[in-house]
Amino acid sequence: MSDHDPNAPLAETPLAALHMRLGAKMVLFAGYSMPVQYPLGVLGEHKHTRAAAGLFDVSHMGQASLSGPGAPEFLETLCPGDIAGLEIGRMRYTVLMNADGGIIDDLMVLRLADNAFHLVVNAACKNEDFAHIEAHLPADLSFTPRPELALIALQGPKAAETLATLAPGVDRLAFMQSAHASIDSIDTLITRSGYTGEDGYELSCANADIEKLTERLLSFEAVEPIGLGARDSLRLEAGLCLYGHDIDTTTSPIEAGLIWIIPKARRNAEAGFPGAARIAREIADGPSRRRVGIKPDGRAIAREGSAILSPDGGRIGTVTSGGFGPSAEGPVAMGYVPPAHAKVGTSVLLEVRGKQHPAQIVKMPFHPHSYYRGQ
Amino acid sequence: MSEERYTEEHEWVRLEGDIAVCGISNYAQEQLGDVVFVELPEVGRVVAANDEIAVVESVKAASDIYAPVAGEVVEVNSGVEDDPEIVNRDALGEGWLFKIKLDDTSEASKLMDESSYEDYIAGLDD
């Protein structure tokens, strides 16, 4: 992840004009001018998404196409996930690894055909990610960033019934399945996925069509536009990692609690992805730290960077994400601590503005996931 | 004097004898958004004007609150600790934060009156 070059022009998504009309408050995020909230406010937007359906502009994220013979095997040289075994039409969460076993970025990989994939990476990382993939690309594969595509997410318990009125059958997709649909003649790639812990979809279409598609979705009573503020509190309650905060080039997937993204057959030093030796070692010996959920006993909010202390006052770790969880009805946090302090129910202290506040290690998510797993 | 006086940091002060009731302005609560946590000073603490004295947190961020005047903290509003949203609902009334017994009752008159404060916030970039 790179910081935004202050001299570079501020980018905007194809929905910038719509955000203005909707009364959004805009902030700089990953080099883009993005809506942090709309008039409903962060708390209201968060609750609305959990109760009905929220619509998010995520067009700043990087989309790309990868195709050619051996494309799945190539992805497995960069990622620890099972890509070769991914069914056509299904998507998987994985990470790009560095040689030290750290995480270059987390991403979604959708298999469109035997040898064709659609990738979605983080906005702040996309230039480095794409350069990294191109640098390792075999000559007979084709890799194409897709800046002409926009991306929105529709999330919440009313997402399925709402989208199904425009794209019949999408309510029968299971979590991480995809479909192509024509919505009001707009060619749309739909995946049942998201970043809120709720059931929902991400929809990719041409930049030229995204405003029309977004306004069509916003025309439903159940759908409200949601900014980055609520996107962050929703994903934090869902226990999902934010790249550059909860995971980065120093954290391994094992430390981050992401062992589930590595199939058993690849949990060894010879698995052929960068950093496999560290993964194997940490599985065998245990990592030196683990990502944990932390629930403060009181109301004080421990934000990113707050020290985590053992009950005797010694520093054991750092909060990587923390905030107020509107659905959890109190402060929530995640951070890294040594395994000895990582067990659920362990007491810790969180330092906020020089004061120590008691807290407990808890199981994540802080708010239950409601993914649709199919019939 | 029963009307509010304002600081450039968006605190307000209302004098009741030699006691200054203090809170944050309507403009401040609107800018902060939904308040979810308030940390108030200890009663008995002696403060100088502009000392960091309290914290008001919205979903988005924590904001330091500065003492608008010098004196001794004589009371805090435990109601807003239990229900921080009162600050959004009634910033100038039920959402007051703390009371300071003034060293010098003329100090508050140096702060902006309501119309000066309105001019001041009109001149701020959003």
Q: What is the CATH number of the domain that holds A301?
A: 2.40.30.110
Does a structural domain hold residue B45? yes
Whether residue A115 is found in the same domain as residue A254: yes
Tell me if B60 and A36 make a contact (CB, 8 A cut-off).
yes
| pLDDT at residue number A8 | 62
Residue A3 scores a pLDDT above 70 = no
Residue A241 has pLDDT above 80, yes or no: yes
> Which spans in A113-153 are helix H?
126-136
Residue A43 with chain B: CB contacts under 8 Å: 33-34, 36, 59
Rounded to whole angstroms, how far apart are CA atoms A33 and A26?
A: 6
In the predicted model, is pLDDT for residue B126 greater than 80? no
- Residue to mutate among B36, B56, B80, B87, with most A CBs inside 10 A, is B36
- Is the Cβ–Cβ distance between B50 and B103 less than 8 Å? no
Check: CB of residue A203 under 8 Å from CB of residue A220: no
User: A352 has which bridge partners?
Assistant: A355
Rg (CA), chain A: 20
Last-in-domain residue among A287, A306, A321: A287
Residue-wise pLDDT for A91-130, tens only, equals 999 999 999 999 999 999 999 999 999 999 999 999 999 9
Partner A contacted by B64 (CB < 8 A): no
| CB distance B20 to B108 below 8 Å | yes
Are residues A168 and A274 both part of a single domain?
yes
Distance CA A158, CA A54 (A): 9
Cβ contact, residue pair B59, A326, below 8 Å: yes
Domain boundary among A259, A287, A315: A287
Pseudo-torsion of CA B102, B106, B112, B113, nearest 10°? 100
| Domain of residue A21, CATH code | 3.30.1360.120
Question: Dihedral of the CA atoms A78, A80, A82, A84 (nearest 10)?
Answer: 20
State both tokens at A315.
């520093």
Looking at the fold, whether A98 and A217 belong to one and the same domain comes out as yes
Confidence at residue A6, expressed as pLDDT on a 0 to 100 scale: 55
Q: Is residue B13 included in any domain, yes or no?
A: yes
Interface of A with B in 307-326 (CB under 8 A): 323-324, 326
Q: Could you report the per-residue pLDDT of A46-82, keeping only the tens digit for each?
A: 999 999 999 999 999 999 999 999 999 999 999 999 9
Say if residue A263 is in the same domain as residue A299.
no
Same domain, A221 and A309: no
CB atoms within 10 A of CB A203: 26
Into how many domains does chain B fold? 1
Joined together, the tokens standing for residue A45 give: 């937007």
Nearest chain B CA: its distance from A16 CA (Å): 18
A295 with A282, same domain? Answer: no
pLDDT tens figures, A141-174: 999 999 999 999 999 999 999 999 999 999 999 9
Mean pLDDT, all residues of chain A:
96
Decide if B126 is inside a domain. no
User: For residue A1, what pLDDT is reported?
Assistant: 43
Mark which residues 1-40 of B lie under 8 Å from A by CB: 33-34, 36-37, 39
CATH code at position B40:
2.40.50.100
Residue B81 at interface with chain A, using a CB cutoff of 8 Å: yes
Same domain, A294 and A271: no
Please say which residue of A233, A263, A287 terminates a domain.
Answer: A287
Per-residue model confidence (pLDDT) at position B125? 63
Answer for the pair A21, A29: CB distance below 8 angstroms, yes or no.
no
A55-92 as b/e: b if 16+ CB within 10 A? bbbbbbbbbbbbbeeebbebbbebbbbbbeebeebbbb
pLDDT at residue A342, rounded to an integer: 98
User: Does one domain contain both A180 and A324?
Assistant: no
Q: How confident is the model at residue B36 (pLDDT cuts 50, 70, 90)?
A: very high
A80 in the same domain as A62 = yes
Is the distance from CB of A348 to CB of A360 less than 8 angstroms?
A: yes
- Tens digits of per-residue pLDDT, A163-222? 999 999 999 999 999 999 999 999 999 999 999 999 999 999 999 999 999 999 999 999
Same domain membership, residue A138 and residue A216: yes
More confident residue, B87 or A6: B87
Please tell me the predicted confidence (pLDDT) of residue B1: 43
A275/chain B closest Cα distance in angstroms: 36
- Domain membership of residue B67 (yes or no) is yes
Range of the domain at A279: 1-287
- Asked if residue A279 lies in contact with residue A252, where contact means CB atoms within 8 angstroms, the answer is yes
Interchain contact, B33 vs A324, CB within 8 Å:
no
Q: Does residue A15 sit in the same domain as residue A91?
A: yes
Whether residue A296 lies within 8 A of chain B, CB to CB, comes out as no
Q: Above 90 in pLDDT, residue B60? A: no
- The Cα-based distances of A158 to A223, A238, A368, B7 in angstroms read 8, 18, 16, 46
Q: Which residues pair with A360 in a beta bridge?
A: A295, A347
Among A36, A37, A353, the residue with its CB nearest the CB of B55 is A353
Q: Which residues pair with A31 in a beta bridge?
A: none
Alpha-carbon span A345 to A363, nearest angstrom: 9
Report if residue B125 sits inside a domain.
Answer: no
Task: Say if residue A121 is in the same domain as residue A229.
Answer: yes
**Structural domain of B50:** 5-102+111-119
Could you give the 3-state DSSP secondary structure of residue A328? coil
Q: Does some domain include residue B57?
A: yes
